Chains A and B, each alone.
Chain A
Amino acid sequence: MDNMLLICRGLCASAGEKAILHDVDFEMRSGEAHVLMGPNGAGKSTFGHVIMGDPAFQVTGGSIVFDGIDIVGLSTDKRSKAGLFLSFQAPVEIPGVPLRSFLRAMVDAHGLKMKNKEFKGRIKELSAELDMNPAYLDRELGVGFSGGEKKKVEMLQLLLLRPKLAILDETDSGLDVDALSVVSRGMELYRQECGGTLLVITHNTRILERLTVDRAHVMVAGHIVDEGPASLIDEIDAQGFERYETAGLAIEGK
C-alpha cells in the first residue's frame, strides 16, 4: 500500500436511475502517469466527476480512498483542498467574473497565502509558459474563449494549484498542433515541478508521445475491462475497442 495515492474498490455510480459505473477497481501510486481509454459514452468523464464529487452522480457502492482517506463523503471543495484536480472536458463559463478574480479566489480558497505581487508574477510566468495572452486575465471566465483557450486556462489553474493528483479529461481534444504542444509542456511542468500524479483521459495517442506512461486502463460500458503497461496503448491504437466490447456485453448480460 505504500505511496498509493488513489484506490477505488468496487466503485459503482449512477446518475439518478441510470447506473453508469460498475464495480470499478482503480489504483494509482504517487508520481505515476496513467491513461484511461475507452469508447465514447464508456463512463470515463463520469469516473473523473465521481472522484471529484460531482453531486450530479451518486456513489451507490464501493470506496474511493485518496491519500489515505475515504473521500466519498467529502464535499467537492474539500477534495480540491485535499489535492485533487479535474480538468473538465467541457470547462464551464462564468459570465460576470474576470478570469483574474477567479484565479485569486481559487488561490485564497486554497490558503496559498500568496502576496499580490507574487500572485501576479506567478500568473504572468504561467501565461508566458502556456503561450497565453495576458489580456485574457481581464476577460470574463471562459466567455468567448475558443476551445483551445479554455483548455489552456485549465492548465494554468493546474500549474497554479499544484495538486497531488490531476485528472485531465480530454484536455487534448480539439487542439491544434501548437496548442497541443503547449498542453504537453504543461503536463511535463506539472510532473517535474510538482512531482504530480497524472490521470490522462484521451482518445489520441499524440498527447502521450512526450509522456512516460506507467499504466493504462480501458473502460467499456462502465466497467474496467483491461489494464496493463504502456504497450497496451499501442495495441488499442492498432486494434480499437472491439474485442472488449463483446466482452463488455457479456458482462452486461449476466
Chain B
Amino acid sequence: MMATQAMILEHAAAMPAPTWHFLKMNDTAIEIPEGLEISPHVKVSGPAKILKGADDIERAVEGAQEAWSAKHPAPTQQEIAEREAFLAAEVDATYGGTAQSDYQKHADALEASRSLSQAFEHGLGSEAAMFLQRVAGKRVVVEGEAGQNVEVDMIVKSVPEAVSVAAIDVVAKCGAEVNVRVTVDSQDADNGTNGIAGTTIRVFADVGSRVGIERAQTLGEGYIDLDDIALFAQDNAHVTVKQTVLGADVSFTGLAGDLRGQDSNVVVDTRYLGRGMQKRDFNYLLRHHGPRTKCELRANGVLMDECSKTLRGTIDLIRGCKGAEGSESETVLLIDEGVRNKTVPVILCNEDDVAGNHGATIGHIDEKQLFYLASRGLSQEEAEAMFASAIVEQAALDAGSSEIRESVIRLGERLAPGFDEIFEEEEI
C-alpha cells in the first residue's frame, strides 16, 4: 500500500507579479501530512476513458503549437532589436533605469520561448500539479469530438487517513461541447480525521468549442482540498468554470488559463463559505494572448467566525491581445470581527486598446438591507445567519447535477439540522 511522505509544496498558487513580501500573500505553502494512504476513490459516469500515461492533451497542444507557430513567425533579428530598444526605453521611463522586474523577465522569456506547452500553467503551480498527478496515477480523459456534446459526472469521495485525487484531462475538439461536473465529498468522519482530496484538471478547448467545468467541494472537517485547474483556449472557445467551496478545514483553489485564441472567452464563478478556523486560498491567473479575448472572474463569499481567506486574481493583458477585456469582481460578506480577509487584484497590461477592471464589495450587511430585514423581524444575528445559509442554498439550487445537489444539501444539513427539508420534493 502506498502512502504519502511528509512534505511541503512551497510557493504554490503564486502570483506571477508579486506584491510586497510583508503582506505574506504572494504565494502559499501546502503541507502534505505523512502516512496518508494513496487511494483514489473516484467514480466516473459518462463517456470517459481512464488510463495511465494518457497524452491526449499533450498531442492537442502540439497540434495547436504547429498552427500557432505557422501563424506567428518568429520575430526577425531586427524586430527583436527594436523590441529590446523599446523595452529599455520603457524601463528607463518607468523605473528610472533600474533593472526589469523578475516578473517581466520571466514573462519575456516565456514569450521568447514561443512554447505553448510551457505557457500551459497550473493554478496551484507546477509542483502542486505534479504532486496531484502522481498521487492520482491514472488520468480520466474526457474527449469531445467535433460537433459532439459530452456530459460527464464524477465523484471524488474521500476517506479518512487517505489522499484521494482525480487527474482529469478535458479535450474539446472544434465545435464540441463538453461539460464535466465534479463533486468532491467525503465519507462521514469523526473529529480528528486527516485526509486530502483533490483534483487537477487540464482543459484544452479547441476552436469554437464550449467547455463547462463545475466543481463543488463539500468535504467534512479535517480534510484538505486541492483544486488545480489549467486551461487553454483556442479561437472562439468558451470556457466556464463554476467552483463551490463549502467544506474542508483548508482549501486551495488555483486556476490558470491561457487565452491564446482570438475571441476566446473564460468565465469563472466562485462561491465560498468560510467559518470556524477554516482557511481559504484562491489563486487565479488569466493570460490574454489573443485579440478580443475576454475573461470574467467573479467571486462571492461569506466569511464568519475566525476563518481566513486570501484571494489572488491576476489578469495579464499581453502584447498582441488588442481589444481584450478582463474583469474581476468580488463580493464578500464579513460577519465576524475575527475574520481575516485578503484580496489582491492585479491587472498587468502590456497592450493598449484593452480593458481591465476590478471591483470589490467587501463588508458588512448594508444599513438599508439590515433595516429591511429587521422590518420583517430579523435581528442582525438572524440576518447574518441567513446570508451564510443562503450561500449553501444557492449552491444547491444552482447545482448542475444531482450528485452535487445532494452533497451540498448534506453539508447544509451538517451545518444546520433541518436544512434538507427546504429541498424535499413536493408531493404531486
Complex: A158 Cα to B394 Cα, angstroms? 25
Interface residues on B, range: 20 to 34
Q: Return the contact of A109 from the options B333, B382, B391, B422 (Cβ within 8 A).
A: B382
1/0 per position for A52-89, CB-CB distance to B under 8 A?
11111000000000000000000111011100011010
Q: Verify A75–B374 contact, CB threshold 8 A.
A: yes
Complex: A55 Cα to B390 Cα, angstroms? 26
Q: Return the contact of A116 from the options B333, B367, B390, B424 (Cβ within 8 A).
A: B424
Q: Which residues of A contact B383 (CB under 8 A)?
A: 105
Given A86-B375, A100-B422, A105-B385, 14 more pairs with CB closer than 8 A: A54-B371, A56-B367, A75-B374, A77-B379, A80-B375, A80-B377, A81-B377, A92-B368, A97-B390, A101-B393, A105-B378, A105-B383, A108-B382, A116-B424
Complex: A79 Cα to B373 Cα, angstroms? 12
B14 to chain A, nearest CB (A): 30
Known: A101-B389, A105-B378, A106-B377. A96 touches B331 (CB 8 A): yes
* Residue B397 interfacial (CB < 8 Å): yes
1/0 per position for A15-51, CB-CB distance to B under 8 A?
0000000000000000000000000000000000000
Q: How many interface contacts (CB-CB < 8 Å) are there between A and B? A: 91
Q: Return the contact of B397 from the options A86, A98, A116 (Cβ within 8 A).
A: A98
Q: Return the contact of B426 from the options A79, A96, A98, A120 (Cβ within 8 A).
A: A120
Q: Verify B300–A96 contact, CB threshold 8 A.
A: yes
- CB contacts under 8 Å to A, within B298-356, are 300, 331, 333
Q: Verify B376–A157 contact, CB threshold 8 A.
A: yes
Interface residues on A, range: 35 or more
Q: Verify B390–A80 contact, CB threshold 8 A.
A: no
Q: What is B's interface to A at a CB cutoff of 8 Å?
A: 300, 331, 333, 367-369, 371-379, 382-383, 385-387, 389-391, 393-394, 397, 418, 421-422, 424, 426
Complex: A117 Cα to B424 Cα, angstroms? 9
Residue in A closest to B418 when the chains form the complex, CB atoms: A116
Q: Nearest 8 pairs between A and B by C-beta?
A: A76-B374, A116-B421, A92-B372, A80-B377, A109-B377, A105-B386, A97-B390, A77-B374
Complex: A101 Cα to B389 Cα, angstroms? 8
Q: Verify B377–A77 contact, CB threshold 8 A.
A: yes
Q: Which residues of A contact B389 (CB under 8 A)?
A: 101, 105
Q: Which residues of B contact A203 (CB under 8 A)?
A: none
Complex: A1 Cα to B114 Cα, angstroms? 88
Q: What is A's interface to B at a CB cutoff of 8 Å?
A: 52-56, 75-77, 79-81, 85-86, 88, 91-92, 94-98, 100-102, 104-106, 108-110, 116-117, 120, 138, 140, 157, 161
Complex: A53 Cα to B424 Cα, angstroms? 37
Complex: A138 Cα to B372 Cα, angstroms? 19
Q: Which residues of B contact A161 (CB under 8 A)?
A: 376-377
Q: Which residues of A contact B375 (CB under 8 A)?
A: 52, 76-77, 79-80, 85-86, 88
Complex: A85 Cα to B377 Cα, angstroms? 9
Complex: A76 Cα to B372 Cα, angstroms? 9
- Residue among A75, A86, A102, A109 with the highest chain B CB neighbour number at 10 A: A109
Complex: A56 Cα to B367 Cα, angstroms? 9
23 sampled A-B residue pairs with Cβ under 8 A: A52-B371, A53-B374, A56-B367, A56-B371, A77-B378, A79-B375, A92-B369, A92-B371, A96-B300, A96-B331, A96-B391, A96-B394, A97-B387, A98-B394, A101-B386, A101-B389, A102-B390, A105-B382, A105-B389, A108-B382, A109-B377, A116-B418, A161-B377
Q: Which residues of A contact B424 (CB under 8 A)?
A: 116-117
B245 to chain A, nearest CB (A): 15
- Residue among A77, A79, A91 with the highest chain B CB neighbour number at 10 A: A77
Q: Which residues of B contact A96 (CB under 8 A)?
A: 300, 331, 333, 387, 390-391, 394
A75 to chain B, nearest CB (A): 7
Residue in B closest to A112 when the chains form the complex, CB atoms: B377
Q: Which residues of A contact B421 (CB under 8 A)?
A: 116
Known: A97-B390, A98-B394. A116 touches B422 (CB 8 A): yes
